[in-house]
Structure 1
Amino acid sequence: MGLIVNLISIFVGLVALPVALVGLVPFFGLANYLAIPLAIVGAAIGMLSGYRSGRNFNLFVLVVAVIRLILGGGLL
């Protein structure tokens, strides 16, 4: 059961990562506002499994999106 939940978490992260990467391009930073909730959901799902890889991957995507928004002046 834990492996399936971890795979779902990784899949959510794989959906959020391209959105966050598009948000790195100037004038497309608003895409990070979509990537952040996706990564949070993926990290929450990853916490339900006994594995760390899905959670850590989603936390990485979350950090990339948040840092981009902070540098662009869109968060905080």
Structure 2
Amino acid sequence: MFNVISILIGLFALVLGIVPFLPFLAWGYWFVIPIAVVGAALGALSRRNAGRNLNLVLIVIFAIRLSLGGGFI
């Protein structure tokens, strides 16, 4: 059950992460990364690791994009 919730949270974070991907909106990742962290934590509580892996990949991608803009842009 935690895996399904984690995947749903990951998909929600992915949808929210599309908008900050545009130039000058990367500061939005400051709000999206904590959502993916919660999803990864719930995924770590389950036996399966698909939800956890999805959220970890999203965290890495969003953090790289955020760091490319200097954390603000």
* TM-score when normalising by structure 2: 0.92
Measure how far apart 1:35 and its partner are: 1.0
- 1:60 corresponds to: 57
CA-atom RMSD, angstroms? 1.1
The alignment status of 1:23 with 2:20, answered yes or no, reads yes
Unaligned runs of 5+ in 1: none
CA distance in 2, matches of 1:17, 1:55: 14
More helix by share: 1
Q: Percent identity?
A: 47
The amino acid that maps onto 2:28 is A
The amino acid that maps onto 1:37 is P
- Partner deviation per Cα, 1:20-43 (whole Å, 9 max, x = no partner): 221111011121011100010000
CA distance in 1, matches of 2:63, 2:16: 13
CA distance in 1, matches of 2:28, 2:21: 9
CA distance in 2, matches of 1:66, 1:73: 10
The alignment status of 1:37 with 2:42, answered yes or no, reads no
Unaligned runs of 5+ in 2: none
The amino acid that maps onto 2:12 is V
CA distance in 1, matches of 2:63, 2:36: 11
> After the TM superposition, which segments of 4 or more aligned residues of structure 1 sit over 6 Å from their partners?
none
